[in-house]
Structure 1
Amino acid sequence: MNIKDPKEVTSFFNFVTGTAETYGKQLSEAAIKVYMMALKHYSLPDIQRAFNLHIQNPTNGQFMPKPADVIRMIEGDSGSRSAMAWTKADKALRVHGHYRDVCFDDPIIHKVIEDMGGWTYFCTRSNSDDYCYQQNEFERRYKGYTGRPMDDSYPRLLTGMATHHNSVKGHDWQDSPALIGDPDRAMLTFQGGYDQSKPRLDDKRANFAKLMAGMGTQGKPKQLNAPKSKPEPRPKPEPRPLTDDGLEEKKAIWLEKLKVLAGNNEAA
């Protein structure tokens, strides 16, 4: 749904308002905007069809559908979605192979296949004995990402072997990717993902890169948390030599003490 198209937005508002009145409810403009933002990735006909299917459902149709209910009607639950996604990926593998770049209409598929080693590796495992285990891993990862925002954390393309070879040889030529599924949604997937041909730096690494870039003009950066230098040990004072007068005086003092002790012992 194009939220920038006034006609589609008006049609969506009227449809959701009418559905709410069917259940005896009145939704505020803010509440309808929440529905619109949650369902903006789907076409208006699909949204209307999902609302109608929910209304006709004898089990849950007695309650006003929430955005999650509409999405479930469009795509199914996480289990069925993961199975459908695997079928789509497996078909693309067998039709297009591992040489051509592909772009699916589901960004979660891009994220899962990238986590599993990339499109080329994903395709080369199709003839191995553990292909059934690959399906289980794919569906398990897909369920884990279901319901989580993708943002730009997925590659916009799943690059094939041809693009990889060209990049290694320094060629910029790249064939147009195969759009898998709905072409319009596949283009949205392409626009929302990151370009894997450009290095992605997180905040810490980006700050470090800026710091290294500024070293040429500003000199070496100040070292943080530098170890403190140990203080030099103080020299020990040399003992002063005793004079003869001092020795004689100490001897006299000790002799007096010995006499006192001897007198005490005789008295006892």
Structure 2
Amino acid sequence: MQTDQLDDFIALLTDVMAYYGKHTSSFMIDVWWGACQKFDYEQVAKAMQHHATDPDRGQFAPKVADIIRVLDGTTTDRAALAWGKVLDVMSRVGAYTDVVFDDPAIHAAVEDLGGWPKVCRTELKELSFLQHRFQEAHRAYTGRGQFDYPRRLAGDRSPDHDYERRGLPLPAPAVVGDQKRAALVYQGGGGTGKSNIHFVSLQVLGNGLLASPVRRLEAA
């Protein structure tokens, strides 16, 4: 959830607790927000409803652990759905086209797997292993909440500067899923999704002077 959804979240939590005859407090809201912020508002609302209708646990007011238990299952389902979306686009769009999904965790996970062209060219016998790696990465990023990711998954085409040098517009990417959410993904991206690598001397490393690297390499 984004910070601007805090009021909606407080209203949701207040309504849920009122259903059980409970009151909310500032401390309670802080604890719940800290635990649930990494999930989508819609996911949290559905998890609250799931708890309320649970024959065993639903007779008691939900604790944070109850909702997180439900949401952890939700992230597994979401990862499976995300893989299905990726698999579909791999066959329909292919390795040569830039792609912007409506889920930043897809961008981060695909980048971890070597990038869009490499994923698209995975041999059929390797798809099961690729699916496992993708879903593990997707769940990890979804659980983290905030992370760096590339704003688009670059296809196997000429680099941007070739188009700019010739005065040509960049090829239009394939936008997958909800266009408004995909636009937000594009606007919020920018990092490579990979860890920066720094080369420093042993003396600098030993002295803790990492603010003065000898040479720095950032994954492109």
Per the TM superposition, whether the score is higher than 0.5 is: yes
Counterpart residue number, 2:137: 141
Greater RCO, CA 8 A, separation 6+: 2
Cα distance change of structure 1 residues 77 and 40 upon mapping to structure 2, 3 Å threshold:
closer
Cα distance change of structure 1 residues 80 and 15 upon mapping to structure 2, 3 Å threshold:
closer
TM-superposed CA distance for 1:211, in Å, is 9.6
Deviations 1:196-237 (A, max 9, x none): 4xx98568889446999xxxxxxxxxxxxxxxxxxxxxxxxx
Deviations 1:101-158 (A, max 9, x none): 2222332222221111100111111x5432222223322333444522433x222221
Counterpart residue number, 2:92: 95
TM-superposed CA distance for 1:31, in Å, is 2.8
Cα distance change of structure 1 residues 143 and 40 upon mapping to structure 2, 3 Å threshold:
closer
**Aligned equivalents of 2:139 and 2:102: distance in 1?**
17
TM-superposed CA distance for 1:71, in Å, is 6.5
Unaligned runs of 5+ in 1: 213-268
TM-superposed CA distance for 1:84, in Å, is 1.7
Counterpart residue number, 2:206: none
Counterpart residue number, 1:129: 125
Tell me whether 1:192 sits opposite 2:185 in the alignment: no
**Aligned equivalents of 1:54 and 1:141: distance in 2?**
27
**Aligned equivalents of 2:150 and 2:214: distance in 1?**
25
Tell me whether 1:166 sits opposite 2:159 in the alignment: yes
Secondary structure of the 1:161 match is: coil
**Aligned equivalents of 2:215 and 2:130: distance in 1?**
43
**Aligned equivalents of 1:166 and 1:203: distance in 2?**
25
Larger Rg: 1
Unaligned runs of 5+ in 2: 201-209
What is the Cα-based RMSD across aligned positions, in Å?
3.7
Aligned length: 202
Equivalent position amino acid for 1:175 in 2: P
Equivalent position amino acid for 2:170 in 1: Q
TM-score under structure 1 normalisation? 0.58
Counterpart residue number, 2:114: 117
Secondary structure of the 2:181 match is: helix
Q: 1:29 aligns with which of 26, 36, 59?
A: 26
Counterpart residue number, 2:152: 157
Q: Is the 8 A contact 1:39 1:47 kept in 2?
A: no
**Aligned equivalents of 1:176 and 1:83: distance in 2?**
27
Equivalent position amino acid for 1:133 in 2: F
TM-score under structure 2 normalisation? 0.69
